[in-house]
Structure 1
Amino acid sequence: MSSFRKASRIDAIGVSQILQIGKKAAQMKRDGKPVIILGAGEPDFDTPANVKNAAISAIMAGDTKYTPLDGTPALKQAIQAKFLRDNGLQYDLDEITVSSGAKQILFNAFMASLEPGDEVIIPTPYWTSYSDIVAIAGGKPVLVPCHQENDFRLTASDLEAAITGKTRWVMFNAPSNPAGATYGAEDYRPLLDVILEHPDVWILADDIYEKIVYDGFEFVTPAQVEPRLKDRCLTMNGVSKAYAMTGWRIGYGAGPKALIAAMAVIQSQSTSCPSSVSQAAAVEALNGPQDILTDRCDSFRQRRDLVVDGLNAIEGITCIRPKGAFYAFAGCEGVLGKRTPDGIILGTDTDYCNYLLDKAHVAIVPGAAFGLSPYFRISYATSEAELREALSRIAAATKALTN
């Protein structure tokens, strides 16, 4: 019997390091160790009651059959209203697509648009799936480091330097995972001016954390800031983060009709339509009361301040205060080169994170997983009690290091 031979397209692609860390931490918990897991990008809140009730009503009404390929009319209308209400953007229904999670929007877009060797510019630190999805689609990820002194935002000069004749897309994720980086209109302006000079370059704007912003920050999206780029911009979003609906798997995007039609071809040969029940729930999430988002965002802000202040109080750790999302992206250069109580020298951010998991029983994700070291990411989408305990453990474990 011959052995399995995997496709060469995934030779350089593995399971997300975030998932690997989560799997190890979960096994440690099953083994009885008091592990605190701060690696998942998932709100700890429950899905709002009105959204759950809408799903139950859909089930009881027999709304459990196949739907149109890329979204029900009701959900597309709710998305259309959301873009107009929140972003001042007008889209026709055939310029809107719905998928089984925002990740599938990315996958459909890149599969539908990339030829072998086409380049996609990805500011780093970046969500780990971006580059792998580009690679699976035959494209080439072009990673452009964004530095802490600019709040992990891309600069116009670095963008201009990264664009070549093969550049097909520039990705923006704001607020970002993992750094919580945000772009106001004044931040986007020079970047969009660069893209205007390159008519073959398109924008993919990942706005999944749109509703989780702090300190009076005013969210904007590229197509809103520069209407001349709307016809080469795919704006994607979803209900997972804002409405605590990660398991419902509904993402959506809006862009030029030809792109949306091409994405539908890809989806028709993979998942086909998203879940009918999840779509009914998403309609209520987008159309229903939105006041719960403000309350939950305020809770996230309090946790952010707890975590950022706690990390900055630890010698060797530095952390800027993000204006969005629910992550803290902290620098750990000050602990590298130090020795653990077991005599192991910490050479990388991955070493430091492994040490904290093994000895402090706190699971966090190294910056290397997001394309930028030496940093680590903490998700503060968990209870304040767990965050306080985790910070205490991190502080004690770090203090135990020696030169």
Structure 2
Amino acid sequence: MPLPPHLSDRVVALQPSLTLAISARAKALQQEGRDICSLSAGEPDFNTPEFIIDATVKALRDGITRYGPAAGDPELREAIATKLSKENTVPTNAEQVLVTNGGKQAIFNLFQVILNPGDEVLIPAPYWLSYPEMARLAGAKVTTLPSTPENGFCLDLNNLEASIGPKTRLLLLNSPGNPTGRVMARKELETLADLLRDHPQILVMSDEIYEFILEEGQQHYSFSAIAPDLSNRTFIVNGFAKGWAMTGWRLGYLAGPADAVKAATALQSQSTSNVCSFAQRGALAALQGSRECVKKMVKSYNTRRELLTSGLLSLEGMSLVPPKGAFYAFPKLPPESLDSVSFCEQALENHGLAMVPGAAFGDDSCVRLTCAVSPETICDGLERLRKALKQS
């Protein structure tokens, strides 16, 4: 069948989102009156803290409703630079920061300004599902670096080194990770830095959107802080969605070498222009305000993550690398089970349980569940999962 003549090759090649497909089907079943338990959500179940909302309302009343600089509110850029310098020990100035419409736009902009057609991007798997598609939209070739539950989803540095070629341009890091909840240890990052020092053509993007959501006793390390000598080729992507429960606000940022950030700003000026002006005042309040709200949410996630983890480990036939951060678990299905897409479809249709197939994240043997729901929903979901496993 011929392709529609009005669609570009790049968009025809895009893979549809499995998460959106599952979500749409779950909503359709709910509208039909079905009892649906969703453990698929990728966002906090808390409301945005009141002091952030108050700052945003004040900005509206003060007339902060006009166009702003494409790179972001100068005060917010300065606050982000201060946060990175002091909290992450990554020396940063405001000129190295671009405020974006969510972390996703930060990644998209970065790929567009540093990747050329034919460049290779190395993506450890399991991965957040949008990484490969955004890299391909920039004309890059994607090479995944598989890991397994059996090795704790650790990045195989021997495999990484063997995968490096003359066109390798970018390595992606995500810690704490989606979907596995894995947190990269300091020693692991140090060893990785040693390897990358021998390959000066490779840039690094560190996605740190879940940096605050850590199991007690765990610590987040920015790659730039571990390897300051590589900061001239390292980019940080982060935002306000997860830590401050601000998913709908669409507030993210890109930080890194000033020349690339300047180029990404130029790109943004020709696409979306500035992020919502008054929403940026809410982000500024988040950075300058108390972190007690963040700590309270993290404490709740930790309790619920433990509940989800213990429940999954008790299910016959399932195996799990216990997550140490973010708000997901990525258990492996029994060997005799269906593939992840078929299993999730069956669980939704027959047991009203919504999960995300591991195939969306590059591992068809697993499924992703969230603990960003109530304890009652977690327990309900685990019981439905138990029944789904028996049927499969």
Which range, TM-score by smaller chain? over 0.9
Q: Retained in 2: the 8 A contact 1:155–1:191?
A: no
Contact 1:315 1:334 in 2 (8 A): no
The yes-or-no answer on 1:302 pairing with 2:293 is: no
2:179 is matched with 178
Q: Is the 8 A contact 2:149 2:320 kept in 1?
A: no
Instruction: Summarize the alignment of residues 143-292 of structure 1 with structure 2, pairs less than 5 Å apart.
Output: 143-292=144-293
84-93 or 62-71, larger mean C-alpha shift: 84-93
1:171 aligned counterpart, secondary structure: strand
CA distance in 2, matches of 1:211, 1:38: 21
Paired positions, count:
390
Q: Distance in 2 between matches of 1:164 and 1:14?
A: 26
Aligned equivalents of 1:276, 1:149: Cα separation in 2: 47
Unmatched runs of 5 consecutive residues or more in structure 1: 337-345
Matched residue, 2:356: 365
Deviation per residue, 1:193-216 (Å, 9 max, x gap): 111111110100000000001131
Partner of 1:17: 18
**Aligned partner letter, 1:157:** N
Select 1:353's aligned residue among 344, 369, 382: 344
What is the CA-CA distance between 1:28 and the residue it aligns to?
0.8
Residue 8 of structure 1: aligned partner: 9
| Equivalent residues of 1:317, 1:335 under 8 A apart | no
Partner of 1:93: 94
Give the Å deviation of 1:335: 4.4
Aligned-partner Cα distance in 2 for 1:90–1:18? 37
For 1:248, the aligned partner's letter is W
Amino acid across the alignment from 1:359: N
Instruction: Report the equivalent of 1:26.
Output: 27
C-alpha deviations, 1:310-342, integer Å up to 9, x for none? 112111111121111000000003341xxxxxx
User: What is the distance in 1 between the residues matched to 2:264 and 2:213?
Assistant: 28
Distance across 2 between alignment mates of 1:398 and 1:236: 37
Q: Secondary structure at the match of 1:319?
A: coil
Instruction: For residues 156-188 of structure 1, give each alpha carbon's deviation from its aligned partner in whole angstroms, at most 9, with x where no partner exists.
Output: 212111111101110000001100111121111
Give the aligned CA root-mean-square deviation in angstroms.
1.3
- Pick which of 367-376 and 152-161 moved more: 152-161
Mapped contact 1:18–1:40 kept (Cα < 8 A)? no
TM-score by length of 1: 0.94
Structure 2 letter corresponding to 1:124? A
Q: After TM superposition, give the deviation of residue 4 of structure 1 in Å.
A: 5.2
Which amino acid counterpart does residue 376 of structure 1 have in structure 2?
V
Q: Secondary structure at the match of 1:237?
A: strand
Please point out which of 364, 370, 393 is paired with 2:384. Answer: 393
5+ unaligned residues in a row in structure 2: which ranges? Answer: none
After superposition, residues 49-60 of structure 1 pair within 5 angstroms as 49-60=50-61
1:107-166 per-residue CA deviation (whole Å, 9 max, x = no partner) reads 111111111110110000001100000000111111110222332121221211111110
Instruction: Tell which deviates more after alignment, 106-115 or 311-320.
Output: 311-320
Q: Distance in 2 between matches of 1:219 and 1:357?
A: 35
Contact conserved, 2:340 with 2:364, CA < 8 A, in 1? yes
CA deviation string 1:230-277 (max 9, x = no partner): 010011100000000000001012111111011112111111100111
Residue correspondence of structure 1 range 124-143 to structure 2 within 5 A? 124-143=125-144
Structure 2 residue matching 1:333: 3-state secondary structure:
coil
Q: What is the rounded CA distance, in whole Å, between the counterparts of 2:214 and 2:205 in structure 1? A: 20
